[in-house]
Amino acid sequence: MAVHKHLDPDRREIRLVRLQQPRTTFTLSLELRTASLDDEEASCSALSYVWGSSSEPQQIEINGQPFHVTQNLHHALQQLERDSVSSWLWIDAICIEQSDLEEKTHQVGMMRDIFSNAAMVYIWLGPGTDETDQAMDLISKYGPRLHASGALEMPSNNGEIISLRNGVMGRLDPAWQAKYSAFGMGPATKLAATAVDLFTEYHENDEVLIPGLSDILHRSYWCRIWIIQEVALAREAVVMVGGRRVSLDAFEAAVVTMWYGGNVDAPRLELTLHRIKALQVRRLRRGRREPLLRRVLWETGAAPGRPFYAASDPRDLLIGLLGVLDEEEKHGMEPDYTQSFGKTFPQATRAMLESTGEPYFNIDSVKPGELEGELRGFPISARSAVLAPTRLKEPERWANSVVDFVGLGPESGPEEDYVWRTVLHGYVGLFQFCWKMYNDGKMHDVPRMLRKVMRREPLDVEGLSKEALTVLRHEGMWDGKALRSVEPVKAEEREPLADELRGTVYFSVSRDSRTLFKTRKGMFGLGHIGIAPGDMVTLVWEVGSPIVLRP
């Protein structure tokens, strides 16, 4: 007997399941029924999870019939049973007949309504460990208080961020307080006071909490394309790691505070772990702003360990996002599993180019006859993963690997400035405070100083300009004010200052996880961490990173 019976698309029918409790057999048993989204009295919750490997399927029973699910889904069902969850649930792997493409297309088109109307969305991150248990306990302890104190409004308010950071750092870091006391420590807000309590406990047990937090935020769940709409649309949601659970709002409040509070041990807890696209989109919607497709797909600083979106079907990279886009941003796109990904991807590209948002992709136009031959991409012939690690453990080896990859000579010279300019993203990240001066030609000797620092060559500071000395001393970097007066650099200060600047450079380039590459014609560039030989590089005007197409 078939588990799945025909659904009536005109009635917007879906399937729901419920755990049968108490369990009467060793096998998990679920009851399945049909419901209509048009029925106002119909109420259900939904499960958000990653399918996981299908190599070890687990058997359950649905209406008395055997049914196989992945191990991760089986773990989730077991935990829901332990938590005595008795509500009707929508679970995609069970409630959709996956082999019926017509049904799948129709059901996926209703996911926006399913998740936005769900009474509860259970976010399953997977089984727990001792470390994740303690990390979740910390989040559960402080997350609700941080949420109540307004932590979720902080990312859109730079003043609140500065106030929080000043308040936290000024109370927990004496060195910071001494250096920046002129800026004030910020008001003793309820948010700052709670954050101080969180950071105090965090540092008392960071040997366990750092791996626990890193484990939670590295889970494959966060790079699954479908979770963006599932998380962003949820009215109420709970995050589950093993037997620990906390509301999504409290979870997000803790993650946001640990990042913006500025007192987390960044060298051991990667700098971009806070970049969870699903939470970013959720914040946009909370502020009544609809996300743009390009802003969801385009991430310039993807978190380490999860730099890609993942989907079992490549078409889902687009289809999985349609639920969070408004009709205008969709440009007529609809879920269609009968269409090949060769047609789906050009639709997404066209939609991004035609977006009504600011012109992020400005492509040069060429009139017919102006361009001879075919406009082609540049095939990549070699790559170097020298920029891939988030924290560079051996900086000298790292710099030497850049020299070897490019094929630079034994001594530095102005002809190699393009290398360090590329590695440092045009120097913008490092010299942001004086970028206008650089463009105006007032920092002509900074590239010379920088290449000598990177090459570990003797640094003659006697002839350096005031601007270069300011960069060397890292003054004026954060406050955006006029450059300060610079005292002469003593001989014993030269190498320590150069080492410190070198460390700032490594910090600047390592946080974005980029990869150097060369094309077959010798062009040199910086691209996505996943670039590989054989990829085609296409340059798009005003885009900070080349577009890579993989056959």
Give the CA radius of gyration of the chain. 27
C-alpha span between 111 and 37 (Å, rounded): 11
Better-predicted residue by pLDDT, 485 or 409: 409
Task: Please confirm whether the linkage preceding 174 is cis (ω < 30° from 0).
Answer: no
Is the pLDDT at 20 greater than 80? The verdict is yes
Q: If you average pLDDT over every residue of the chain, what do you get?
A: 76
- DSSP letter string over 506-541? HHHHHTT-EEEEEETT--EEEEETT--TT-EEE--T
Determine how β-strand 244-247 pairs with β-strand 237-241.
antiparallel
Question: What pLDDT shows up at residue 513?
Answer: 59
| CA quadruple 350, 354, 360, 361: dihedral, nearest 10 | 40
Average pLDDT over residues 37-42: 82
Model confidence at 102: pLDDT above 60: yes
Of 2-16, 29-43, 77-91, highest mean pLDDT: 77-91
Question: Is-contact 473 446, C-beta < 8 A?
Answer: no
Neighbours of 275 (CB within 10 A): 19
pLDDT at 366 > cutoff 70: no
Least confident of 49-63, 330-344, 477-491, 522-536: 477-491
Q: Are 239 and 326 in contact (CB under 8 A)?
A: no
Q: Residue ranges per domain, the chain?
A: 12-48+55-119, 130-233+248-326, 389-512
Mean pLDDT of 449-461: 79
- d(CA 288, CA 325) in angstroms, rounded, equals 12
Decide if pLDDT at 62 tops 90.
yes
pLDDT-based confidence at residue 253 (cuts at 50, 70, 90)? very high
Pull the structure tokens for residue 115. 């998740």
Closest CA to 436 of 402, 483, 496: 483
Q: Residue 125's pLDDT is what? A: 97
Residue 278 has pLDDT above 70, yes or no: yes
Residues 6+ apart with CB under 8 A from 280: none
Q: What is the pLDDT of residue 186?
A: 45
Q: Structure tokens of 312?
A: 């079992």
Following DSSP, what letter does each residue of 272-285 receive, concatenated?
TTT--HHHHHHHHH
pLDDT tens digits along 465-484: 766 776 666 543 433 333 44
pLDDT by residue (tens digit) across 198-244? Answer: 888 888 888 888 889 989 988 889 888 899 999 999 999 999 999 99
Reported confidence tier of residue 505, pLDDT bands at 50, 70, 90: low
Tell whether the model's pLDDT for residue 83 goes beyond 80. Answer: yes
Q: How confident is the model at residue 367 (pLDDT cuts 50, 70, 90)?
A: very low
370 pLDDT higher than 50: no
* DSSP string for 103-160: HHHHHHTTHHHHHHH-S-EEEE-----HHHHHHHHHHHHHHHHHHHTTGGGGGG-HHH
Helix (H) or strand (E) holding 29, with range, is strand 29-36
Higher model confidence: residue 375 or residue 244? 244
pLDDT band with cut points at 50, 70 and 90 for residue 97:
very high
- Confidence (pLDDT) at 242: 97
Asked whether 517 and 525 are in contact (CB, 8 A), the reply is yes
- Which position has the higher pLDDT, 280 or 357? 280
Strand order in the sheet with 244-247: 65-69, 58-62, 29-36, 13-19, 89-90, 45-48, 121-124, 237-241, 244-247
Is the per-residue pLDDT at 123 higher than 70?
yes
Q: Which helix (H) or strand (E) holds 380?
A: strand 378-384
Sequence-separated (6 or more) residues with CB below 8 Å from residue 472: 449, 461, 464, 489, 497, 498, 501
Instruction: Determine how many CB atoms are found less than 10 A away from the CB of residue 137.
Output: 15
**Reported confidence tier of residue 28, pLDDT bands at 50, 70, 90:** very high
pLDDT at 378: 47
> What per-residue confidence (pLDDT) applies to 30?
94
Q: Which residues contact 8 (CB under 8 A, 6 or more apart)?
A: none
Q: What is the Cα–Cα distance from 121 to 282, expressed in whole angstroms? A: 14
Both structure tokens of 406: 């490019």
| pLDDT band per the 50, 70, 90 thresholds, residue 39 | confident
- In angstroms, what CA-CA distances link 432 with 271, 439, 545? 19, 11, 18
Range with top average pLDDT, 73-82, 328-337, 346-355, 510-519: 73-82
Most trustworthy range by pLDDT among 69-73, 180-184, 287-291, 327-331: 69-73
Average pLDDT of span 505-512: 58
The pLDDT, as a whole number, for residue 342 is 79
Q: Based on the number of CB atoms within 10 Å of its own CB, is 360 exposed (0-12), middle (13-18) or buried (19 or more)?
A: middle
**DSSP annotation of 363:** P
SS3 track for 249-262? HHHHHHHHHHHHCC
User: What local confidence, expressed as pLDDT, does residue 435 receive?
Assistant: 46
What would the pLDDT profile of 514-546 be if each residue is shown by its tens digit? Answer: 677 888 877 777 776 667 787 776 665 545 555
Q: Cα(201)–Cα(62) distance, rounded to whole angstroms? A: 46
Beta bridge partners of 379: 536
Q: Is residue 79 scored above 50 in pLDDT?
A: yes
In eight-state DSSP terms, residue 244 is E
pTM: 0.70
More confident residue, 137 or 491: 137
Q: How confident is the model at residue 334 (pLDDT cuts 50, 70, 90)?
A: confident
Q: Which residues contact 494 (CB under 8 A, 6 or more apart)?
A: 459, 461
Q: Residue 461's pLDDT is what?
A: 66
Cα separation, 24 vs 7, in Å, equals: 30
Instruction: Provide the pLDDT confidence category of residue 373 given band limits of 50, 70 and 90.
Output: very low
β-pair type (29-36, 65-69): unpaired
Calpha distance 319→108 (Å, rounded): 8
Q: Own/partner pairs for 487-496, CB < 8 Å, 24+ apart?
A: 489/461, 494/459, 494/461, 495/459
What confidence score (pLDDT) does residue 17 get? 96
Question: pLDDT at residue 506 above 60?
Answer: yes
Q: Which residues contact 175 (CB under 8 A, 6 or more apart)?
A: none
Closest listed residue to residue 114, CA positions, set 233, 25, 242, 269 = 233
